[in-house]
């Protein structure tokens, strides 16, 4: 099983990406007929391997391409079926121009796949097809191996399809910026034209006043129901001062207002400013930043929506990419400290860390039992609650999009969350959720190569898929192992 597929279960599974397996053969009909079963056998292997990944589904292709005309016909049919990833099955020396025609019609990157078989020139077939595409700038990747018995080939197949699916789903999506730049953080702003050109993402700017206005009209019966649902399930809760019920209920009204904004503006992911308009004069957006990212709320399972705090646009985009590639909610936190004795990095943040990370359980009550409700810290003059916990131990992928001299690059590192006693929260900020992270980088190397204060994570290993996505979108990768 590919390393990117792990056993974490969500209460609201994402819609799988549609993967087309297009098969290619010799252009001479008499030769094609002798190769049909060989081509079909590898197509079956690819189809079965794709089906093992819960984030992928196979779009049926009934015909093996063995002519110019069939290349056009099959590719047009697959394109019309809403294909999100294309795998070219080439276990023989299929005529390379067939692959070129199909790829040009599809207008998306392709994975060229051949099993290792010395009796057949499949590797020559994928190399010839690759060369033809490379000459005119069609992005393609190659896989040489049996995806049912070769873990590396299986991982590459899964990684490519997830990366292509993420790229396709970003096209035409809408990002909402609720408020402007937060506390002077230039690393949080973005260029809407760059996003549309590179990713196909439209940007909608919405004033925080719209959220405040809508919050006044929130359904009070739902506010009361939400407050009761939360406080009955949280492991520990404060109910005095800034965390008084009235303050937390105002945070819930903000969440309901943002849910309405997401629906009315058809937003796919968003960023909330919060500091200091909300956190200084009203209440913080912590309930919103937590439950938008969570795969549930008091109304039951729901699709997680990537939402960054502090109006971090590139942070929200990183979170959306991680969510699309992994299928899991992503999070945002700050680098805060490094423990030389334990060799652990401390990451924490007041807002965009979904409660799901406390237990990684599909049951909201099991996660929330590990989460506390504490008053917002004194630095914020406004009211409301923070929701501290410690991220459950396990493998993660750490990532962040930044820009260096105007050019995007993706920081990428394998890492793990490490369990720590709750008392360690007090070493930084006891009121905030934390992730204690172990990775191979020395702290001096990390701060030298990392170009912002926010980082992001998802469970599992998704390094290859993110690298392929970056290759598809022209982003340089700064990866450490």
For the stretch 84-138, pLDDT in tens is 999 999 999 999 999 999 999 999 999 999 999 999 999 999 999 999 999 999 9
Q: Tell me if 2 is assigned to some domain.
A: no
For the chain, how many structural domains are there in total? 2
Residues 160 and 184 both lie in one domain: no
| Residues composing the chain | 481
The predicted pLDDT at position 7 comes to 54
CATH number of the domain bearing residue 83: 3.40.50.10940
pTM: 0.96
pLDDT value of position 11: 77
At 262 the three-state DSSP class reads helix
How high is the pLDDT of residue 265? 98
* pLDDT interval class at 60 (50, 70, 90): confident
pLDDT band at residue 351 under the 50/70/90 scheme: confident
pLDDT tens for residues 260-315? 999 999 999 999 999 999 999 999 999 999 999 999 999 999 999 999 999 999 99
Whether residue 306 sits in one domain with residue 362 = yes
Local confidence band at 481 (pLDDT 50, 70, 90 cut-offs): confident
- Please tell me whether residues 340 and 447 are part of one structural domain: yes
Of 121, 139, 170, which residue constitutes the final position of a domain? 170
Residue with the larger pLDDT of the pair 229 and 61? 229
Q: Which domain holds residue 233?
A: 174-479
Would residue 4 count as lying in a domain?
Answer: no
Residues 86 and 179 in one domain: no
Q: Give the position of tokens 């093992």.
A: 52
Checking if the pLDDT of 1 tops 60, the result is no
Shared domain for 189 and 109, answered yes or no, is: no
| DSSP per-residue string spanning 163-229 | HHHHHHHHTT-EEEEESS--TT-GGG---HHHHHHHH--EEEEE-HHHHHHHHTT--HHHHHHHHHH
CATH number of the domain encompassing residue 403: 3.20.14.10
Asked whether residue 11 is domain-assigned, the answer is no
Q: CB of 368 within 8 A of CB of 235? A: yes
* pLDDT surpassing 50 at residue 366: yes
Among 130, 145, 170, the domain boundary falls at 170
Distance CA 325, CA 323 (A): 6
Q: Residue 6: which pLDDT band, with cuts at 50, 70 and 90?
A: low
- Give the pLDDT mean for 418-432: 96
- Domain shared by 145 and 232, yes or no: no
Answer whether residue 12 is part of any domain: no
Q: Both 85 and 190 in a single domain?
A: no
Mean pLDDT value across residues 325-338: 96
Task: Classify residue 58: in a domain, yes or no.
Answer: yes
Residues 254 and 155 reside in one and the same domain: no
21 and 137 within one domain:
yes
User: Whose structure tokens read 């359904």?
Assistant: 219
State residue 13's pLDDT score.
Answer: 82
- Angstrom distance (rounded) from CA 393 to CA 3: 17
Q: How confident is the model at residue 5 (pLDDT cuts 50, 70, 90)?
A: very low
116 and 67 share one domain: yes
Residue where a domain stops, chosen among 152, 170, 188: 170
Neighbours of 451 (CB within 10 A): 15
Burial, 327: exposed, middle or buried (Cβ in 10 Å; 0-12, 13-18, 19+)?
buried
Residue 117 counted as domain residue: yes
β-strand 344-348 against 56-59: which pairing, if any? unpaired
88 and 192 both lie in a single domain: no
Query: pLDDT value at position 10?
Result: 76
Q: What is the mean pLDDT of the chain?
A: 95
Question: Which tokens hold the place of 87?
Answer: 């795998």
Quick one: average pLDDT of 180-203? 96
Considering the domain architecture, whether residues 386 and 415 belong to the same structural domain is answered as: yes
- Average pLDDT rounded to a whole number, residues 338-351: 95
**pLDDT tens-digit profile of 391-406?**
999 999 999 999 999 9
């Amino acid at each position: 099983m590919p390393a990117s597929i792990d056993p974490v279960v969500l209460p609201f599974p994402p819609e799988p990406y549609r993967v087309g397996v297009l098969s290619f053969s010799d252009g001479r009909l008499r030769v094609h007929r002798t190769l049909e079963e060989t081509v079909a056998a590898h197509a079956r292997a690819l189809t079965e391997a794709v089906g093992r990944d819960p984030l992928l589904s196979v779009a049926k292709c009934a015909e093996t391409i063995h002519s110019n005309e069939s290349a056009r016909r099959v590719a047009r049919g697959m394109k019309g079926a809403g294909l999100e990833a294309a795998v070219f099955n080439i276990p023989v020396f299929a005529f390379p121009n067939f692959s070129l025609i199909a790829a040009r019609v599809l207008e998306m990157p392709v994975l060229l796949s051949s099993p290792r078989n010395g009796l057949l020139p499949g590797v020559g077939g994928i190399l010839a097809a690759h060369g033809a595409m490379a000459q005119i700038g069609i992005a393609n990747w190659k896989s040489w191996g049996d995806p049912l018995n070769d873990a590396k080939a299986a991982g590459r197949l899964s990684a490519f399809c997830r990366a292509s699916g993420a790229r396709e789903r970003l096209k035409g999506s809408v990002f909402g910026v609720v408020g402007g730049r937060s506390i002077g953080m230039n690393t949080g702003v973005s260029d809407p034209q760059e996003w549309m050109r590179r990713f196909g993402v439209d940007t909608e700017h919405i004033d925080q006043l719209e959220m405040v206005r809508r919050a006044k009209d929130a359904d009070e019966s739902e506010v009361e129901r939400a407050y009761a649902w939360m406080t009955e399930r949280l492991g520990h809760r404060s109910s005095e001062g800034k965390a008084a019920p009235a303050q937390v209920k105002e945070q819930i009204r903000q969440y309901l207002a943002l849910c309405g904004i997401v629906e009315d503006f058809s937003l796919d992911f968003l960023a909330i400013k919060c500091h200091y308009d909300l956190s200084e004069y009203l209440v913080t957006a912590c309930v919103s930043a937590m439950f938008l990212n969570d795969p549930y709320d008091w109304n039951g399972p729901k699709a997680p929506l990537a939402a960054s705090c502090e109006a971090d646009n590139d942070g929200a985009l990183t979170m959306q990419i991680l969510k699309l590639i992994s299928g899991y909610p992503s999070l945002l936190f700050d680098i805060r400290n490094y423990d030389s004795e334990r060799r652990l990095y401390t990451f924490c943040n007041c807002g965009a860390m979904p409660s799901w990370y406390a237990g990684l359980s599909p049951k909201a009550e099991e996660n929330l039992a590990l989460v506390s409700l504490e008053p917002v810290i004194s630095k914020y003059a406004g009211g409301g609650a923070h929701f501290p916990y410690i991220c459950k131990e396990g493998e993660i992928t750490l990532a962040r999009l930044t820009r260096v001299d105007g050019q995007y690059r993706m920081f990428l590192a394998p890492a793990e969350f490490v369990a720590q006693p709750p008392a360690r929260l007090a070493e930084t900020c006891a009121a905030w959720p934390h992730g204690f992270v172990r990775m191979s980088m020395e702290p001096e190397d990390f701060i030298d190569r990392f170009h912002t204060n926010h980082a992001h994570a998802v469970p599992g290993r998704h390094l290859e898929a993110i690298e392929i996505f970056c290759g598809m979108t022209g982003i340089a990768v700064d990866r450490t192992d």
